[in-house]
Structure 1
Amino acid sequence: MKKCSWFLLLAVLFLCFPLNGRASAAVKTSPTIILDGQAIPMQKKDKVELINGSVMVPLRIIAENMGMGVLWNQQVGTVTIPKESGSIVLTIGQKKALIDGASHSLATAPRNRNGTTLVPLRFISEAMGVQVSWDNSLKVVGLTSAPLPLEQPAITPAPASPEVPDQPVPLPAAAAATSTVHSLSFSDDRLMLAFTGDVQPSVHTGNEPLQIVVELPRTNFSADFLQTVSWDSRTQSGEQTVTGVPNVNKLYYGLFEPEAATLRVVIALSADTNYTSYIEEDAASRLLVVDLSSATAGLPPAEPVQPGNGKKTVVIDAGHGGADPGTIGISKKLEKDFNLSVALKVERLLLQEPAFNVVMTRREDTYPPNKQRAEMANELQADAFVSIHGNSVTGSPKVRGTETYYYSQESKAFADIMHRHLQGTTGFPDRKVKYNKYIVLKYSNMPATLLEVGFLSNAAEEAILFSDDFQNRVAAAIVAGLKEYFGIA
């Protein structure tokens, strides 16, 4: 049974408190609330209010302590609470709500207090149902998700307070977003969320219903992303059915808490599931991965090579892939497509070179995690690692050029040679060889370099980058650089 109806006892409790002055005045208090034997933590700003005889609680209390996937639409002032089947929709200032599509009346409309949304406990308790108890001597609210005995004494509610017309409540202005989500998908037992900006995502679990919740403050979805997914502009939310993944039912996503411009993504579960989460950063974007696969799952199978045959083993990495598009070009072309196209051309050329074994981190539109790409090369004891990318600078369409990165000092000479061949072929402005802590470079044990061929955010360079003839020349330059570094004629 869901815990959400613990709210009923709170409503009864507050009706028992005496009110001074007019019945319509708002009275603030902070009672002790025990949920299944555990006290619910409440911050100083979390004030429970009694308004017109209805107990109102900050929405944050519901979201954090009841594990609910609550979504907020600031434009129309709606609050949506997804359930295992159906949903609850409340609207700021309105006494009508929807439960699984059916209209229900509220004694008091949801309010907004200085950017905090207050919702009526009595309504939510009736909508979702939970058993409650009250210790009058200790002034403690007891909440339990299990049914109480039938002999539990009934509590008679206090007389209803006279109705006072609700006054319009202005909605708070949403905080300016500083980060953007560009793509979101669930595949291979992993949620993958590509974003840009300085945001630090948080990941936590909820118990009733079971779910994994991802929150990104001060973040918006990109317009391009919203055109590719199921999206309800009225509730500013969407959902995706997940099939073929044990214990995962659906994926919900939307805007929550306008005062923080917070994005929330909810993985709805059918059973307790372990997970790990981590962020991968690359040349043009960041990727949050929530991995539900077994902790014992190993690396993707490495391609077999013949050790001791005198050949140099080179790992060619097409950056990004799958749910991670990399940067999106000025004409909406995707970096991951450019990277893969060039990488496959490099592979074809290296297969014609008798001095090389070539291994690809990906040949299709898939996403191997960046650290695993490096670990694959380490497992093979590769002699060199080359990661291929396109570049971008948001808001600066005039920036152009070719640049190359290295991490370890051992890789500097390798990066210098590869850059000289690459930049000489592209003819783009020379942005030099630079140091960076990119994951694929940091965790590689062999000479490794990351090539930023050109800028997709520049119209002229983007058009050239996707030319088949240009890509063939870039592939030939990469092979020429490898041959020079290893002293192969």
Structure 2
Amino acid sequence: MRAPRPVPTVVLRALALLATLLVPLLAPVPSRAADAAADVVAIAAAIEETGAETRLVLTLSAPVEPRVFAIDRPERIVLDLPKVNFQIPAEEGARSGGLVASMRWGLFAADRARVVIALAGPATVTDVAVTARDDGAHLLTLSLAAVGAEVFAARVAADAGAFRTASLRPAIAPDPAPADTRPTIVIDPGHGGIDPGAIAAGGVEEADIVLAFALRLRERLSESGRFRVLMTRETDVFVPLTERVGFARRAQADLFVSIHADSISSAPQVSGLTVYTNSDEASDRESATLAERENSADALAGIETREARDEVADILRDLAARETRGYSHVFATTLVEGMGGVARLNKNPHRQAGFVVLRAHDVPSVLVELGYLSSRRDIALLTSEAWKDGATAAMTASIDRFFAPRLGDRADAAAVSP
């Protein structure tokens, strides 16, 4: 395929200088485009084809020390970097050329970034170099050459141990609150970091939309004083699926709400808010497709989803899961009823599918699709401040109703020690 046209040198120089000057001055906001806490800024990515070789060139504001790994199923090259603020729209990752089929980039952990390169065929990295330009920018150039399947497999095997170590992440742990008897709500903004989620026309990214909504919801729930509210992520960072579940279980959560705004290009007629609960069998084909895609998030970031084994006996776990599933359905019904007055509901607003993030056997859990980025009408709502205000208020009221039997009319419900 034809390589994309290179950005004019004068533009790159101006961007590099501007990024270097502005990064220390910007305040962090919940957006992929402005996580300015990073010291290094990536301002451009280009694919160059030179004979049999393909080069990926990242333009950075400062030098970095990269680490490179080959992984399979499917064939990919992983480039690990220190913390980098990617000022490159995620939708540009769909570019392809030579041995590069597509790319994705973003924070893999709070202090690390990752670039995952999907290969068009088996390839090996022949060189990785970081060079300085006269304008102060630095070019990270990764060179690829085609190899046979056996050579690629040998490279994967050689990198396996180091890659497993590089992919280890500290578990996110909730702050202890032994004196807090309020119900604990865990809000889970889907995607983040290297996983932007669905990307709508115009570059609107699911990870941004759901984080902004989740932060607003946390604010409303906290204002009520009746709940202890935690989030699996508060910034644009990647969190593995099972780690989200583990966080809720370690927090002894009373309710887990995963927020999403996906896209179903094969079914653009699907629109409106939908609440999902966990089930081994999906309620319909669209739900099964959606769950399969959501469950692949870890693989797209270059790691395997590993569901932790429970320490309790299987029979006890199954009994707990059955009871938990009942509570999940009750909350899903309550939420659908509560959101009906402020949100466009899907024609079938309560659906079921086998989402990994809903598999905690002892935490009632739902996944809320606020809308679908494949629907223009939904995008208009999801990006509306007025709609977010109304939707978060309705969701807070639904959570209040769900916990009403537990909270009762206690006047001191809002005065428990945090």
Q: Report the CA distance shift for 1:78/1:257 in structure 2 as closer, same or farther (over 3 A).
A: farther
User: Is contact 1:249-1:268 (8 Å) kept?
Assistant: no
User: Is contact 1:329-1:457 (8 Å) kept?
Assistant: yes
* TM-aligned CA deviation for residue 361 of structure 1: 0.7
1:227 partner SS: helix
Aligned to 1:292: 166
User: How far apart are the structure 1 equivalents of 2:114 and 2:261?
Assistant: 36
Root mean square deviation of aligned Cα:
4.6
Aligned to 1:475: 392
* TM-aligned CA deviation for residue 212 of structure 1: 2.7
User: Is contact 1:346-1:479 (8 Å) kept?
Assistant: yes
Aligned to 1:438: 355
Aligned to 1:100: none
Q: Please point out which of 256, 271, 280 is paired with 1:385.
A: 256
Greater Rg over alpha carbons, structure: 1
Aligned to 1:121: none
User: How far apart are the structure 2 equivalents of 1:335 and 1:323?
Assistant: 12
Q: Please point out which of 348, 352, 355 is paired with 2:219.
A: 348
Is 1:227 the equivalent of 2:92? yes
Is 1:302 the equivalent of 2:160? no
User: How far apart are the structure 1 equivalents of 2:260 and 2:108?
Assistant: 32
Aligned to 1:412: 329
* TM-aligned CA deviation for residue 352 of structure 1: 0.9
User: How far apart are the structure 2 equivalents of 1:314 and 1:320?
Assistant: 19
Aligned to 2:71: 213
CA deviations 1:10-39 (Å, max 9, x no partner) are xxxxxxxxxxxxxxxxxxxxxxxxxxxxxx
User: How far apart are the structure 2 equivalents of 1:375 and 1:226?
Assistant: 30
- Any unmatched runs of 5+ in structure 1? 1-72, 87-189, 192-209, 218-223, 277-290
Is 1:373 the equivalent of 2:244? yes
Higher helix residue share: 2
* TM-aligned CA deviation for residue 329 of structure 1: 1.8
Counterpart AA for 1:378:
R
Counterpart AA for 1:452:
E
Equivalent positions of 1:331-346 (< 5 A) are 331-346=202-217
Q: Report the CA distance shift for 1:440/1:272 in structure 2 as closer, same or farther (over 3 A).
A: closer
Higher strand residue share: 1
> TM (normalized to structure 2)?
0.53
* TM-aligned CA deviation for residue 417 of structure 1: 0.8
> TM (normalized to structure 1)?
0.46
User: Is contact 1:330-1:459 (8 Å) kept?
Assistant: no
Equivalent positions of 1:308-347 (< 5 A) are 308-347=179-218
Q: Please point out which of 362, 367, 374 is paired with 1:450.
A: 367
User: Is contact 2:274-2:350 (8 Å) kept?
Assistant: yes
Aligned to 2:119: 254
User: How far apart are the structure 2 equivalents of 1:477 and 1:451?
Assistant: 13
User: Is contact 1:377-1:385 (8 Å) kept?
Assistant: yes
- Any unmatched runs of 5+ in structure 2? 1-46, 57-65, 76-88, 124-148, 279-324, 410-418
User: How far apart are the structure 1 equivalents of 2:103 and 2:347?
Assistant: 45
* TM-aligned CA deviation for residue 445 of structure 1: 1.9
User: Is contact 2:108-2:237 (8 Å) kept?
Assistant: no
Equivalent positions of 1:25-424 (< 5 A) are 79-80=52-53, 211-216=69-74, 227-228=92-93, 233=97, 236=100, 253-256=118-121, 273-276=161-164, 292-294=166-168, 298-304=170-176, 306-407=177-278, 408-424=325-341
Q: Percent identity?
A: 24
Q: Please point out which of 355, 376, 398 is paired with 1:459.
A: 376
User: How far apart are the structure 2 equivalents of 1:426 and 1:243?
Assistant: 32
Counterpart AA for 2:244:
R
Aligned to 2:403: 486
User: How far apart are the structure 2 equivalents of 1:241 and 1:440?
Assistant: 22
1:455 partner SS: coil
